[in-house]
């Protein structure tokens, strides 16, 4: 649900927050995210500004209160009651720290192997097994109702809030109002603010109990307000969709409901690590190219045990680190997890963590651990240089998506490199 269901800032494929390991590891998600396939295509929304906004970094408490006064009339026109507005904004002030967080999101990225080292660390796996054991009864009920494997629900919980230990303590109304007033992505944040007020108006929670991340993601599995309105469920039957409380039941059920809505196939893996044959045609590693596991086996793509992957359905081949790292045969459920967060690293992280919670093995292939991730400026430079050499990336945005990967492959072919699409520092140096 994106933004996703959950966090906020335009994603690059491997952009991730820094993670601090401890007895209870923090949440780990690609750095704040809005991709939205559900909440309304944030790439376009993010560039718009709502009316009467835009004081930006020069924002002040007086300017904020003026904005709130103007916003009230817009909220009322969308059905928000005056008493709800009064309660929601009681004592709410401009939060400059939120703007600092929004302005200073790290441009640095982690490699996928560094990300996975945190996402599926021994601590997170052990805590996930404990969370599954402690909540098995409710998780089995959720699995039976929604048809979503309980281990995937637990893995999302683990990456989003470290199994409920890091749900966020920011006042959601204050954060969203500050970000909407700021104007940089005003239309998006005002939409979320209206949705948050509708949640309050429904009686699901109270204003000061509505807490979450600085960017508006809420509860155990970090729903944004618009996604909450569309997909949150009252699984406990107490009349409230309470994703904030110590009891995670409604939050976990809401996550399952969300994944089910987008077509989760129970029992189907998100993906399977595979071996590629010598001389594999890297052009076949394309999300749009689907084959049955048996067809892939005829091309030499087999499980790590050397046998054909079971027939779980149509699949494509994913090489997140090009030909130098692990290869995965990915199925429909990969794209379902993607609805939560579009970064490949996040999807693999959730999927692999769920496999490890089930008792599955670690990823067996080596990674090019001598490489480092490209910075945002280096990714833009790569796109500029590729386009300048006639390999059009269809935009210079610092995000390594399918068009940039296609351009990388075309350049690699032109200079006799393996066309695996891996946007590495070595490739950038070759372009230079």
pLDDT, tens digit (0-9, with 9 covering 90-100), for 30-50: 543 434 333 333 222 222 333
Supply the DSSP symbol for 241. Answer: -
Q: How high does pLDDT run on average in the chain?
A: 88
Instruction: Select from 414, 374, 357 the least CA-distant residue to 150.
Output: 357
The CA–CA distances, whole Å, from 207 to 182, 314, 325, 337 equal: 21, 46, 47, 30
Tens-digit pLDDT profile for residues 141-184: 999 999 999 999 999 999 999 999 999 999 999 999 999 999 88
What digits encode the pLDDT tens for the residues 329-367? 999 999 999 999 988 999 999 999 999 999 999 999 999
Domain range annotation of the chain: 1-264, 376-431
The CA angle 92-93-95, to the nearest 5 degrees, is 120
CA–CA dist 229, 240 (Å, integer): 12
Residue 332 near residue 298, CB atoms below 8 Å: no
For the annotated catalytic residues, the residue numbers are 160
Alpha-helix residue ranges (DSSP H) falling in 41-149: 42-45, 61-77, 82-88, 96-103, 112-119, 122-134, 136-146
Q: CB–CB of 62/26 below 8 Å?
A: no
pLDDT for 129 equals 98
Instruction: Give, as one character, the DSSP assignment of residue 13.
Output: T
* Phi–psi pair at 187, nearest 5 degrees: -65, -40
Provide the pLDDT for residue 41. Answer: 30
What's the pTM? Answer: 0.87
């Amino acid at each position: 649900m994106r933004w996703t269901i959950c966090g906020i800032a335009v994603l690059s494929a491997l952009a991730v927050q820094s993670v601090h390991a401890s007895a209870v590891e923090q949440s780990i998600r690609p750095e704040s995210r809005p991709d939205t396939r559900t909440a309304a295509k944030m790439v376009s929304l993010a560039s718009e500004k709502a009316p009467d906004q835009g004081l930006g970094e020069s924002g002040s408490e007086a300017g904020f209160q003026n904005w709130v006064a103007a916003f009230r009339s817009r909220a009322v026109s969308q059905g928000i009651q005056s008493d709800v507005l009064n309660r929601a904004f009681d004592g709410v002030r401009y939060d400059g720290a939120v703007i600092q967080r929004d302005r200073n999101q790290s441009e640095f990225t982690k490699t996928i192997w560094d990300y996975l080292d945190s996402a599926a660390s021994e601590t997170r796996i052990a805590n996930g097994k404990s969370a599954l054991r402690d909540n098995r009864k409710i998780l089995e009920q959720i699995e039976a109702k929604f048809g979503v494997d309980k281990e995937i629900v637990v893995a999302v919980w683990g990456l989003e809030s470290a199994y409920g230990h890091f749900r966020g303590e920011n006042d959601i109304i204050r954060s969203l109002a500050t970000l909407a007033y700021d104007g940089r992505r005003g239309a998006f944040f005002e939409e979320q603010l209206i949705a948050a007020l509708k949640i309050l108006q429904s009686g699901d929670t109270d204003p000061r109990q509505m807490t979450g991340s600085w960017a508006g993601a809420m509860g155990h599995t970090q729903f944004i307000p618009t996604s909450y309105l569309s997909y949150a469920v009252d699984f406990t039957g107490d009349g409230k969709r309470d994703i904030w409380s110590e009891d995670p039941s409604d939050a976990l059920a809401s996550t399952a409901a969300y994944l089910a809505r987008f077509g989760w196939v129970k029992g189907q893996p998100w993906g399977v690590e595979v071996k590629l044959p010598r001389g594999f045609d890297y052009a076949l590693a394309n999300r749009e190219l689907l084959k049955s596991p048996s067809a892939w086996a005829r091309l030499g793509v087999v499980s790590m045990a050397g046998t054909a992957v079971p027939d779980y359905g149509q699949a494509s081949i994913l090489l997140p680190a090009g030909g130098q790292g692990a290869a995965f045969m990915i199925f429909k459920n990969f794209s379902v997890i993607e609805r939560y967060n579009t970064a490949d690293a996040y999807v693999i992280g959730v999927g692999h963590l769920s496999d490890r919670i089930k008792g599955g093995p670690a990823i067996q292939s080596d990674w090019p651990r001598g490489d480092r991730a490209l910075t945002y400026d280096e990714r833009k430079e790569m796109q500029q240089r590729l386009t300048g050499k006639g390999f059009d990336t269809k935009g210079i945005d610092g995000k390594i998506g399918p068009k940039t990967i296609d351009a990388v492959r075309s350049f690699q072919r032109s200079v006799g490199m393996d066309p695996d699409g891996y946007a590495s520092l070595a490739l950038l140096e070759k372009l230079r």
